[in-house]
Amino acid sequence: MKGQRPILPPRWATRFLYWYCRPELVEDLDGDLAEYFDRNCGTKGPRRAKFIYVLDVVKFCRPYTIRKPKPLHPLIHWLMLGNYIKTSSRNLVRNKLFSAINISGLAISMTVGLLLIGVLSDILSYDQFHKNYHRIYRVVSEYEFLKKKDMSLMATTSTKAGQLIRNEFATPEAVAIIRRNFDGDVTYNNKTLPLDGFWANQDLFKVFSFELAKGNPETALRDAFSVVLTESAAKKLFGDDEALGKSITYNNDKSYTVTGILKDIPKFSHIHFEMLGSLPTREVLYKDSKDEMKWDNIWSTWVYLLLPEGTDPNSLQPELVKLSEREDPTVENTHIGLQLQALGDIMISPDMNNQIGDVMGVSSLWIFGSLAFVVILSASFNYTNLSIARSLRRTREVGIRKVVGALRSQVRNQFIVEAVLISCCALLIALVLYVIVKPVFLSFNPDLQALYQLDLSPKNLGLFIAFALLLGIVTGFFPALFFSKVNTIDVLKDGATFRLSRKLTARKVLIVFQYCISIILITSTAIVYQQYRHYIAFDLGFSTENIINVPLQGNKADLLKKDIEELPEVVDVSQSQMVTSIGNYWISRVKSPEHPEDSAGVAYNVVDEKYLPLHNHQLLAGRNFQARTGKFEESEVIVNVEVLKRFQVAGGDPQKAIDQVLKIDGKEVRIIGVMKDFSYGRANDKASDRTIMFRYNNEGLDELNIKVASTDLLATRNKLEAIWKKHDSVHPYEGKFYSEQLELAFAELKAAIKIAGVLAFLAITIASMGLLGMVVFTTETRLKEVSIRKVMGASVHGLLFLLGKGFLSLLGIATLISLPLTILFFEQVAFPELSNHAPLSITDMLLGVGVVLVIALAMILSQTFKAAQTNPAEVLKNE
Amino acid sequence: MKGTNLGEFEELVLLTVAALIDDAYSVAICDELERHSKRPVKLGAVHAVLNRLEDKGLLKSKLGEATNVRGGKRKRFYTVTVPGKTALVKARELREDLWNRIPSFALKAIAS
């Protein structure tokens, strides 16, 4: 037997026995089992013996062997809680610097967390006021033309699909159909108001819980030419008069009867409107329109289904597929696929076009969420780092506690309580910061203002407190684990020799991580800002300088134009249907007569004869439009070279393309000019998509383009506004400088930069505070060494280098990791998605890194310099 | 209270403890029972009964010295208490009483 290892029963089973069994019984039981095990080993072999052992351990699990919970324990915990809080608060006060760093770092990061919680809780409370919230689904469409699928889904579908589902499907209890474009001027008793709204059918009130203050929800939207107003809209139009049953005029055309007054739409509704026109009206108005009920007219109608309780929305999918198969042949080369989307998914839906209102979008949620998480993580690291760094002092306290009889779990609890205490202090500061930061955050982007309230409601407060407790527990977890494992004898024998080196690498990794995050955030912000500047100043291919675009809002252009032209500073005025390069697209189907089966959408703008020279559009060949008067048949078009290439006109040669013919929406028109390329949609559009044309018209153009030459642009603006007021008392003046509009087109990017910038700033602050804490700690512990070195004749800069070099190398490592990561991300992931981007500028990135490093260096130098300057006699005289 | 009434298995265990005198610990009791009754006796069952008898005050126990068998774990030795002895005697008297009331002829048939 000698030298042979004895066969032992499985360790885990023994541990399990010790875990569940009463302490007074366990030794005997364990011995018995061991005896049996030995016996079985001899007779039945070790494997079977082990099996029997495990079986017996389980069998011993009987009521009389199982450990009873001790009634004393919780009481002790409660009693000790007071003690924990007392020692923790003493500790907080004793180490003012560390406490300040911990609390303020946590408070700052917590503010970000609170904003995130506020945003999430706002988003999740959207549409909750609908009684049938869980049973409402929206029909969304995917569009496929010539087997080419659109990248993203449409939140809209066709009116036809809505009507067919409503009439033919058995499952839905009600089908609400909402169509856009019931917005315009409403007149009652010579009082005119512009109002926003939709067309909707009578099922709207069955599906949604929009409450009618007056009127019958069954019939309010049933008949043609009925309109439902919200209370505030009715108040604006009718004042205190009774509105129900009155007749109002819409867009100076038809008159509608008010059949219902709606309570105002709650803020947290994804649909907002001031009035609803009855959908049957459209059946009268657009009886002869071919487009109205076309299967592929999927851009203007939202359809919502109310499914019976407990219906699986997927069970409708086969029916929807069948509907698509049946209706696809009614349109050429097109496939429309239909899907259902739950009401609760709308606010955080994946990127979808044609939303009915503003939505958060799942990608921005993820980005914001992960950035917030990183910042909070960074602050927690500070806490972990600093607590473990200070552990030299605290370990003795822990040692004494253990000697007196504290259990490991009690030490753990103590440090978790301490962390929770700190995070509660941080919460108080964070709440104040939250109130201050909230309006700033919301003003980053008008969309944010529209979407969120971020109220300090009781529900949110509860969430905040829960968040603070959770954060406390999480941040306190590692220090607690560390302290509870402290070996009592080691600590008390000689505190000074207690070695911390084991934990040192982990702490270095944490510092490097924090600095990586800071550098990545700040360089990314710098890069995105550079892109923004690049797009704002992008050479669009035409001139936008000193041009003011004024939407006519239904006014007659001629009179207004005449008045404006009289202003001395106005150089010229042109008209167009829309403003290009700010994110709008008007698209028509174009064919070449030579290839009749091949058609494609071409972006266009309808302009007058002055538009091209006013905007400095360059013609490569041919001529500009000529002014025409009266009614005329469209016969001329100006295209860019991409159009020639796309339709293989004259081999792409501008000179030869003149007088060639194209078919636009079925009408034959002659190419009279070929222009230089320009950015039609936005500066970041792909060049290959740029098939553009100009069409001519002398009426129905909604924008005035006013070119001014003035030194005092503000005064000119005011003069224009005065003229506008003279002509239109109903609508506010909405003229904007072209440059302003270009910036607005990138408002999202601007908001993103602001948010990223703030987060980068926070990350740097937190990392710097953490670094400061570490430097203070290191220099304090090495003060004696420094003094002795000084006595021996070390120079101040030598000492600076000695103390600082460790941190410098950490910063160096962080830079070396994060810079390539950032460059890789932008070159490989972000830029391929982005056309016309500016090249990565290394100087901008280095500037970002430089800022971070200079702050860090200032932290290090200030402390090390202090240490190097101390009088060695002061330090050493106590020895 | 169930008091001092003994179940059949309880009585057997109690008797075995009394019989083993100074060496009455769980495994030994188990082996002894198995040897005499010729039926498999489970350690868990013996433990449970020992525990119950101790609760009833019929047995008392103390831990022995640690040895290098059993993984160095101490044995728990049981001894019968005075109430335990009384209970055994009572059970035996009850039985003898009943035996004595049986007329001798009645058992003859069974015995032969």
Domain of B80, CATH number, reads 1.10.10.10
Q: Is residue B3 part of a domain?
A: no
Interface of B with A (CB under 8 A): 25-27, 42-44, 47-48, 51-52, 63, 69-71, 73-76
Taking the C-alpha atoms of residue A324 and residue A637, their distance in angstroms, rounded to an integer, is 36
Q: Find chain B residues with C-beta within 8 A of A27's C-beta.
A: 63, 73-74
* Total domains present in chain B: 1
Query: DSSP secondary structure string, A137-176?
Result: EEEEEEEEETTEE-SSEES-B-HHHHHHHHHH-SS-SEEE
In tens, the pLDDT along A479-516 reads: 888 888 877 777 777 645 455 545 567 778 888 888 89
Structure tokens at A275: 């009035």
Reduced to 3 states (helix: H, G, I; strand: E, B; else coil), residue A545 is coil
Q: Find chain A residues with C-beta within 8 A of B26's C-beta.
A: 28, 32
Structure tokens at A584: 């709008």
Domain ranges of chain A: 11-59, 133-346, 362-533+748-876, 547-741
Closest CB to A35: pick one of B48, B63, B69: B69
| A436 class by beta-carbon count within 10 Å (0-12 exposed, 13-18 middle, 19+ buried) | exposed
Give the lowest-confidence range in A148-162, A351-365, A579-593, A764-778.
A351-365
Taking the C-alpha atoms of residue A849 and residue A27, their distance in angstroms, rounded to an integer, is 63
A467 band by pLDDT with thresholds 50, 70 and 90: very high
Taking the C-alpha atoms of residue A565 and residue A567, their distance in angstroms, rounded to an integer, is 5
CA-wise closest residue to A556 among A728, A735, A705: A728
Reduced to 3 states (helix: H, G, I; strand: E, B; else coil), residue A633 is coil
- Check: CB of residue A546 under 8 Å from CB of residue A708: yes
* CA torsion, ordered A149, A152, A153, A156, to nearest 10 deg: -110
In tens, the pLDDT along A37-52 reads: 888 888 888 888 888 8
Q: Residue A720 contacts by C-beta under 8 Å, 6 or more apart in sequence?
A: A548, A550, A564, A567, A706, A733, A735
Structure tokens at A663: 């078919």
CB atoms under 10 Å from CB of A2, counted, come to 3
CB atoms under 10 Å from CB of A774, counted, come to 25
Q: Find chain A residues with C-beta within 8 A of B73's C-beta.
A: 27-28, 30-31, 34
| A221 class by beta-carbon count within 10 Å (0-12 exposed, 13-18 middle, 19+ buried) | buried
CB atoms under 10 Å from CB of A269, counted, come to 18
Taking the C-alpha atoms of residue A548 and residue A704, their distance in angstroms, rounded to an integer, is 8
| Mean pLDDT in residue range A104-121 | 89
Counting residues of chain A whose pLDDT is more than 90, the rounded percentage is 18
A786 band by pLDDT with thresholds 50, 70 and 90: confident
Reduced to 3 states (helix: H, G, I; strand: E, B; else coil), residue A261 is strand
Taking the C-alpha atoms of residue B29 and residue B35, their distance in angstroms, rounded to an integer, is 10
> What confidence score (pLDDT) does residue A320 get?
92
A69 band by pLDDT with thresholds 50, 70 and 90: low
- Residue A31 to residue B44, Cβ atoms within 8 A: no
- Residue B71 to residue A31, Cβ atoms within 8 A: yes
Reduced to 3 states (helix: H, G, I; strand: E, B; else coil), residue A543 is coil
Q: Is residue B67 part of a domain?
A: yes
A745 band by pLDDT with thresholds 50, 70 and 90: confident
A478 pLDDT higher than 80: yes
Q: Find chain B residues with C-beta within 8 A of A32's C-beta.
A: 26-27, 43, 47, 70
* CA torsion, ordered A248, A250, A255, A256, to nearest 10 deg: -70
Q: Is residue B82 part of a domain?
A: yes
Taking the C-alpha atoms of residue A426 and residue A111, their distance in angstroms, rounded to an integer, is 9
Q: Is residue B2 part of a domain?
A: no
Kindly list the distances between the CA atom of residue A815 and the CA atoms of A530, A821, A831, B86, in Å, as whole numbers in the listed order: 21, 10, 22, 87
Structure tokens at A108: 């700052």
- Residue B74 to residue A27, Cβ atoms within 8 A: yes
Question: To the nearest whole number, what is the mean pLDDT of chain A?
Answer: 85
Q: Which domain holds residue B12?
A: 8-111
Q: Is residue B89 part of a domain?
A: yes
> What confidence score (pLDDT) does residue A140 get?
92
In tens, the pLDDT along A251-260 reads: 888 899 999 9
Closest CB to A64: pick one of B48, B63, B76: B48
Q: What is the 3-state secondary structure (H, E, C) of A682-719?
A: CCCCCHHHCCEEEEECCCCCCEEEEEECCCCHHHHHHH
CB atoms under 10 Å from CB of A79, counted, come to 9
Q: Is residue B1 part of a domain?
A: no
Give ipTM to 2 decimals. Answer: 0.84
Q: Is residue B30 part of a domain?
A: yes
Q: Find chain B residues with C-beta within 8 A of A60's C-beta.
A: 44, 47
A1 pLDDT higher than 50: no
> What confidence score (pLDDT) does residue A5 get?
64
Q: Find chain A residues with C-beta within 8 A of B51's C-beta.
A: 25, 64
Minimum distance, in Å, between the CA of residue A60 and any CA atom of chain B = 6
A726 pLDDT higher than 90: no
A74 band by pLDDT with thresholds 50, 70 and 90: low
Q: Are strands A226-230 and A254-262 parallel, antiparallel or unpaired?
A: parallel
B112 band by pLDDT with thresholds 50, 70 and 90: very low
Q: Is residue B65 part of a domain?
A: yes
CA A131 to chain centre: 28
